[in-house]
Amino acid sequence: MTQFGFLIDNRKCIGCHACTTACKSENSVPVGVNRTWVKYTEKGLFPDTRRYFQVTRCNHCANPPCVFICPVKAMYQRADGIVEFDPSLCIGCKACMQACPYDAIYIDPDSHTAAKCHFCAHRTEVGLEPACVVVCPEHAILAGDLNDPGSEIARVLATQQVRVRKPEQGTRPKLFYIDAEESSIVPTLATQSVNMLWAQSPAQEGHSDWRGPIQIGEGRMAGALMQSAAAPRETYNVPHRIPWHWQVPAYLTTKSIGAGAFIVAAAGLALGLLPATPLFTTVAAFVSLLFIGLTTGLLVWDLDRPERFWTILVRPQWRSWLARGAFILIGFSAVGGLFFLANAFGFGALGQSPLLIWPGVVLAVLSATYTAFLFAQAEGRDLWQSTLLPWHLFVQAIMAGAGGLLVVGSFFTVAPEATRVLAWAFGLSALVNLLVTVGGEFGTPHASAVAATAAHMITHGKYRRYYQFSLVAGLLLPLLIVAVAGASPIALAIAGALSIAGLYAYEWAFVMAPQDVPNN
């Protein structure tokens, strides 16, 4: 069976960018984004220096994570191995960008849908080579059928030593390099700064000042080269926007409150730990539904094509946890809504029946934790691959749900026994959250250098203030309040509010830091 792939001979590449230009022309790629580009890295100290070129693009992986995470089958793999996309189906969720370990996918600024190299499939299908192959003046780019022993690419692969990018990810990429430079093929090895060879790279966080592909830096054009060059440094690359912004940390927070409030209240009722008062029936259910509704709204808000959100329901790709999560939230909202209506309209026997409560609790737990499995599919962000994450999200939900009920409960008359149960649930979950965060997520060695880099950015780098706030104001101070003033509803409400604020600060750092680690 035909399996197409690329081979780049770095011994021949002269960094002329003809491949980039041809790709843009052939596929009408807008200004500011690229399907193929040339990366420069430099090593040495003048006059003993060398510049290395690396053509970079989609790897057309045999095991493509971008296909598995796409919730609507917009990204798919053809029988010939080409990883293709259908912009008419894309909802702009940007999950494929998070799944790609190579930063090969971008959002088209015109269509607001995902796009990338598609092997010039329109040419390949009629027996022509991709535009980048045809235009290369050095014949440094080869493309063809890897399974055909007579093809040029197969013959070269059989006789030359080659490397691929990030083989540890298990994606089985089909973009091979001859004479790959280590500091180019491993993004984190080369020093990166805003001052590039001819320009200044756009600001990373949010790209709020992103004006186009050319950013003229201050001072002399060669200023970047005059810095210490003892270590390898990147001197030319293309910018990549950060896919997910504040809506995702906010979604994690609201989902924790919504799911956790139902778990604490409903399970407390079923186990006889909490009384069947309005706070733990109708009010708790209303809080849960409100925050799950906010969660859904934030998910839709973050889409680049929000008007297509409904297509997840009619054309789901069941391997994607984004699609699965949508149905989990719908199921939980349905059961939670029935719980609310039964208690609000006097059908207490139904509303407090274990046959309704426990399915709701199960769906609430799934709502709280499914994002861990979605993050696990985001192969491009190693820090999110933590095996502790499902448990961490569950504990965060209990803390946020109990904290939310403590805040709301300050406006009601609550029996001291019920307040004590809420305080214990809140305090224990906050303590476990602290232990998992400090001793688990950030207190043990990470599986990869990329994950360790993101973790260091959270604990000691760019995001340390968010992390420190989450620990001190969001966990330690609430635990102190529970220990000292655990019988005061007002003090407990303050503790609950602080924990939710700290949770958002933590989620902000946890979501944003891995996106700051370069993948190309």
3-state secondary structure 294-357: HHHHHHHHCCCCHHHCCHHHHCCCCCCHHHHHHHHHHHHHHHHHHHHHHHHCCCHHHHCCHHHH
Among 183, 207, 236, identify where a domain stops: 236
pLDDT at 224 over 80: no
Lowest-confidence range among 51-65, 236-250, 361-375? 236-250
> pLDDT value at position 17?
95
Cβ atoms of residues 516 and 380 within 8 Å: no
Cα Rg, the chain, nearest whole Å = 26
Same domain flag for 216 and 270: no
Examine the pLDDT at 222 and tell me if it is beyond 60.
no
- Flag whether pLDDT at 294 surpasses 80: yes
| pLDDT for residue 200 | 57
Kindly give the pairing relationship between strand 175-178 and strand 4-9: parallel
Query: Average pLDDT, whole number, for the chain?
Result: 92
Q: How much is the pLDDT for 447?
A: 86
Shared domain for 206 and 253, answered yes or no, is: no
pLDDT tens sequence across 357-399: 999 999 999 999 999 999 999 999 999 999 999 999 999 999 9
Weakest mean pLDDT among 98-102, 216-220, 406-410: 216-220
Residue 306, in any domain of the structure = yes
Please tell me whether residues 304 and 225 are part of one structural domain. no
CATH number of the domain where residue 53 is located: 3.30.70.20
Q: Are residues 223 and 286 in the same domain?
A: no
- Nearest Cα neighbor of 394 from 420, 417, 425, 424 is 425
More confident: 134 or 233: 134
**C-alpha distances in Å from residue 423, one per residue of 418, 460, 477:** 9, 32, 14
Residue 225 and residue 256 in one domain: no
Give the pLDDT score at 198: 67
**What's the average model confidence in pLDDT over 11-35?**
95
pLDDT band at 223 (very low <50, low <70, confident <90, very high): very low
What is the distance between the alpha carbons of residues 60 and 100, in angstroms, rounded to a whole number?
A: 11
Quote the number of domains for the chain: 2
Q: 454 — phi, psi (to 5°)?
A: -65, -40
Rounded mean pLDDT, 236-241:
86
pLDDT at residue 346 in the model: 86
pLDDT above 90: residue 197: no
pLDDT of residue 189: 87
Phi/psi of residue 52, each to 5°? -115, 140
In 3-state terms, what secondary structure has residue 216?
Answer: coil
Residue 214: band (very low, low, confident or very high) from pLDDT cuts 50, 70, 90: very low
Length of the chain: 520
Residue 347 lies in a domain: yes
Q: What is the pLDDT of residue 199?
A: 62
Residue 398 counted as domain residue: yes
Give the pLDDT confidence of 61-84 residue by residue, as tens digits: 999 999 999 999 999 999 999 999
pLDDT of residue 21 exceeding 70, the answer is yes
Q: How confident is the model at residue 230 (pLDDT cuts 50, 70, 90)?
A: low
Same structural domain, 509 and 367: yes
Residues 205 and 270 in one domain: no
Position 210 scores a pLDDT of 42
Q: What is the mean pLDDT of residues 272-285?
A: 96
pLDDT value of position 392: 98
Q: Which domain holds residue 419?
A: 247-516
Same domain, yes or no, for 369 and 227?
A: no
Q: Are residues 471 and 347 in the same domain?
A: yes
Write the CATH number for 472. 1.20.1630.10
Residue 360 lies in a domain: yes
In a domain, 294, yes or no: yes
Q: At 158, which amino acid appears? A: A
Q: Which of 236, 258, 292 is the last residue of a domain?
A: 236
Residue 241 placed within a domain = no
Strand order in the sheet with 4-9: 141-145, 4-9, 175-178, 162-163
Which of 179-188, 264-273, 292-301 is least confident? 179-188
Task: Judge if 223 and 255 occupy the same domain.
Answer: no
CA-closest candidate to residue 301, choices 246, 259, 256: 246
Question: Percent of the chain scored above 90 by pLDDT?
Answer: 84
Mean per-residue pLDDT for 280-303? 97
Please tell me whether residues 413 and 359 are part of one structural domain: yes
How much is the pTM?
Answer: 0.92
* Residue where one domain finishes, among candidates 192, 216, 236: 236
Report whether pLDDT(131) > 90. yes
Establish if 328 belongs to a structural domain: yes
**Which residues lie closer than 8 Å to 157 by C-beta, 6 or more apart?**
7, 146, 176
Report if residue 242 sits inside a domain: no
- What pLDDT, on a 0 to 100 scale, did the predictor assign at position 206? 43
Q: Are residues 151 and 300 in the same domain?
A: no
